[in-house]
Structure 1
């Protein structure tokens, strides 16, 4: 079991320090994922990769996480989905 999976389990058990331990371990991979997603967006959007990472992280882990992740792979799949939803929500808001 890797460190990310162990910390995800700590988050699920309610350890208040676990989210702060997780971010340094996943940040660079989340940043690469966000940059790739933003690169596929049309010109004119204003969201930066760093902001997308932070917004997705808050949705996934937040102060009161309402979901659990079975392992690292599940976490990153959920992060990719969260990023996609954030980008879709922003695009919809822009064109209203």
Structure 2
């Protein structure tokens, strides 16, 4: 049994020291995942790679029940957590734009609309994924693992316990449904 598999098994049983060891062992992989995720949205968030990984770790520590069948499921969980962190940051930023303790100043509406467009696109994708999860949770998992975690079809199939062909069909179906929801 590999070291990662053993740590995942211990995390599943509630071993808190295994959580720390697992995070330390996979830290560079999580940084690569965060860097990849932030590269897609570098202009819309103020987060950097380190802060995204560390915020993910805090949420990982606060998670109540964890059940990782393998490395793929762990990274699927990490991708989902990173997605929610980015969306939460965007929502906070939009809340601050709409009020708070800021002094209200008149701005050009075209400029404000162009700045908010990218932020709102990420929030719309997040909401569309939530809607997709109500229809078919596995489709959402496939999108998170492929798009957000960058896992291959084989790794996703292994994590979900399905065939590569099923993953390809789910990916095509999810893309079609998300495209319709985002129009």
Q: TM-score, normalised by structure 2?
A: 0.48
Note the C-alpha offset of 1:39: 1.1
**Residue 27 of structure 2 is aligned to residue 30 of structure 1:** no
**Structure 1 counterpart of 2:81:** 82
Deviation at 1:44, TM superposition (A): 5.3
Q: Look up the SS of the partner of 1:4 in the other structure.
A: helix
Q: 1:60-71 maps to which residues of 2 (within 5 A)?
A: 60=60, 62=61, 65-71=64-70
Distance 2:5 2:59 in 1: 18
Give the Å deviation of 1:3.
Answer: 1.6
Structure 1: give runs of 5+ residues left out of the alignment. none
Say if 1:20 and 1:40 are closer, same or farther in 2 by CA, change over 3 A.
same
Partner of 1:73: 72
SS in 2 for 1:77: helix
Q: CA deviation at 1:63?
A: 5.3
Structure 2 SS opposite 1:17: helix
Cα distance in 2 between the residues matched to 1:14 and 1:83: 22
Task: Report the count of equivalent residues.
Answer: 95
Mark the runs of 5 or more structure 2 residues left unpaired by the alignment.
Answer: 96-183
Distance 1:91 1:54, change over 3 A: same
Report the structure number with the largest CA radius of gyration. 2
Of the two structures, which has the highest relative contact order with CA contacts closer than 8 Å and spacing of 6 or more?
A: 1
